[in-house]
Structure 1
């Protein structure tokens, strides 16, 4: 079965869900162009999720994907939190921020029964997960209205595990990909390999459709992935300059600059490895540090620094998520980009 027939789409191009830099507008544009638009829900409240889903339903009759993280929220460790704020204290002083006034908070929520209740109202055609899968009962809720289930694998072992859990297709996330690593069976980053090394290994190891993700930015990249057995592509970074994306001014400027050639996996912004453009805080504290609390608790302490710096036009404390290949980033409508990517399917 092709990915198109499995998901009910015209083009096997999936717009990667990118929490914090996009909402319903990008998903609508890609779905209407024949691809699979995605709504990232990890940073949305229940009310905001319902509002975004209503906007999608109102503006497209095509299939779309809703994406969730499925991490286990950690207990707050006061000692670790205090250590993280101590590491950030020189920056707090520089920007005149009162560290004692910064509230603690998770920043990102996993898939929950409350989220499933909202999805049931809208019955999205596809539900995708990052960091493995949710509990069996929550997964059954997502399946109950006929949704197809996707999840990311960063190793062959993760792909086999996902297949054993009954997912409908697997996203092979290569090391080049921007944003959070989908790694979930271990936290050993030495297991992480590039897309074109990972993809054929997963294709050989499972019987499901495999979607290539990471470093694919144009039609030639799509064509290359297809030759290695991909059933479709998931593309994120290339969409970040589209007018439908909510990418901030400092993030857009970084993507258009020489800085975009320098990316790193860093845990400084959330406590979990994610690829972004190297900036001051990554250079000075990271990229990988033992100081941040467990995901997603690292977010709260760094948020005021980000806000203050961005108010002055600086992205030096911002998570400037980007894959290793930002060459496909152009300020063109998302529908046009989707069709250009699909030219590689010929």
Structure 2
């Protein structure tokens, strides 16, 4: 059932693989695109050179459309006292791997350089989270043929993206795994000068279904549903509310093409329905993941954790060491509330299964049990 979104991009299916920074690969994005969906590269932590290399690899594997996602962010300048206090809190965890926490060489990639690389790469889709572009930046991408999607966690954020000329909005509900993309202060819609407070993040915890319904009613551009969608019934429900596509991240994490290690995969397959929480302790920005020992141990210090990307950089070496050691207790195990429905299988096979389930659920007298294996 084509719509404006799938027709514009030439997609056979209204399925987008979520841009999971650090967990995605060119192989995953290419497999999803080749199967009829839209594969995505999460480039928030990729250098401009790495962005170009990853895009070239996707294009080597498929001639189908794909997308690239960036974090809209400024390079921070934290004071030494804040950094030292954070390192001290992390020291016991680093010590478990025989390491001493150190101030990293850089806090994050330079967004301006990443943006230039994105324009030069000209992906079919350019999506953004953590902030918002200017109208001029949106127009620059559209001028080279990229379809611009902005991430929104509230209706006000979705309207802000529409106002700067975005082609579509991804409505990211509180069920979604990984980082919350909140960038507006709910009490002052449109105020993007300061980073959202913890209260702002709490106010933005809107469920996928009401958020999609609100955005569809208020906007004239396509809305993409994200958060908690794991099977064909979820796709059907989102499209019934007026979404023109769904974005699924957690569903693709256990595909063999994803970049996550064995400990992370095992944690996903063991997780129970109530095992995810939002936390700041790994990255400094609220993100939903599976509860583990590190999350529980540092929970009391969560309010004093430096904001993203400072905390994210400070825990980077620790998380890499934990992954290499197969130690899930010190990993950021990002996952959405639908984690119990993960189905380990190749990405192309998963897309085909999702398409079958969706078609069954939308057929007259559709099978309401589609998705149960």
C-alpha distance in 1, partners of 2:352/2:343? 14
Give the 5 Å matches for 1:47-196: 47-99=49-101, 102-106=102-106, 108-109=108-109, 111-112=111-112, 114-186=113-185, 187=196, 188-191=200-203, 192-196=205-209
Q: Is the 8 A contact 2:261 2:326 kept in 1?
A: no
Structure 1 residue 211 corresponds to structure 2 residue 224: yes
C-alpha distance in 2, partners of 1:84/1:175? 27
The aligned length equals 343
Q: CA, structure 1 residues 250+260, in 2 after alignment: closer, same or farther (shift >3 Å)?
A: farther
Q: CA, structure 1 residues 225+261, in 2 after alignment: closer, same or farther (shift >3 Å)?
A: same
C-alpha distance in 2, partners of 1:183/1:311? 31
C-alpha distance in 2, partners of 1:104/1:82? 12
Q: Is the 8 A contact 2:269 2:340 kept in 1?
A: no
Could you tell me which residue of structure 2 aligns to residue 301 of structure 1? Answer: 314
Structure 1 residue 210: Cα displacement:
0.7
- Secondary structure of residue in 1 paired with 2:234: helix
Q: Deviations over 1:133-157 (max 9, x none)?
A: 2344433332221211001110111
Q: CA, structure 1 residues 247+91, in 2 after alignment: closer, same or farther (shift >3 Å)?
A: closer
Structure 1 residue 8 corresponds to structure 2 residue 10: yes
Q: Deviations over 1:59-81 (max 9, x none)?
A: 21111111101022221221111
Q: Deviations over 1:193-240 (max 9, x none)?
A: 111121111111111111100000000111111111111100000001
Structure 1 residue 250: Cα displacement:
1.0
Q: Is the 8 A contact 1:69 1:110 kept in 2?
A: no
Gaps of 5+ in 1: none
C-alpha distance in 1, partners of 2:139/2:319? 39
Could you tell me which residue of structure 1 aligns to residue 270 of structure 2? Answer: 257
Structure 1 residue 93: Cα displacement:
4.1
Counterpart selection for 2:38 from 31, 36, 39? 36
Q: CA, structure 1 residues 218+29, in 2 after alignment: closer, same or farther (shift >3 Å)?
A: same
Q: Is the 8 A contact 1:84 1:292 kept in 2?
A: yes
Counterpart selection for 1:341 from 354, 363, 366? 354
Could you tell me which residue of structure 1 aligns to residue 282 of structure 2? Answer: 269
**Runs of 4+ deviating beyond 4 Å:** none
C-alpha distance in 2, partners of 1:77/1:295? 14
Could you tell me which residue of structure 1 aligns to residue 190 of structure 2? Answer: none
Structure 1 residue 103: Cα displacement:
3.1
Structure 1 residue 109: Cα displacement:
2.8
C-alpha distance in 2, partners of 1:336/1:126? 23
Structure 1 residue 260: Cα displacement:
6.6
Q: Is the 8 A contact 2:135 2:164 kept in 1?
A: no
Q: CA, structure 1 residues 258+67, in 2 after alignment: closer, same or farther (shift >3 Å)?
A: closer
- Secondary structure of residue in 2 paired with 1:316: helix
C-alpha distance in 1, partners of 2:305/2:133? 25
C-alpha distance in 1, partners of 2:177/2:11? 24
Q: Is the 8 A contact 2:268 2:342 kept in 1?
A: yes
The structure, 1 or 2, with the larger RCO (C-alpha pairs under 8 Å, 6+ apart) is 1
Could you tell me which residue of structure 1 aligns to residue 371 of structure 2? Answer: none
Could you tell me which residue of structure 2 aligns to residue 201 of structure 1? Answer: 214
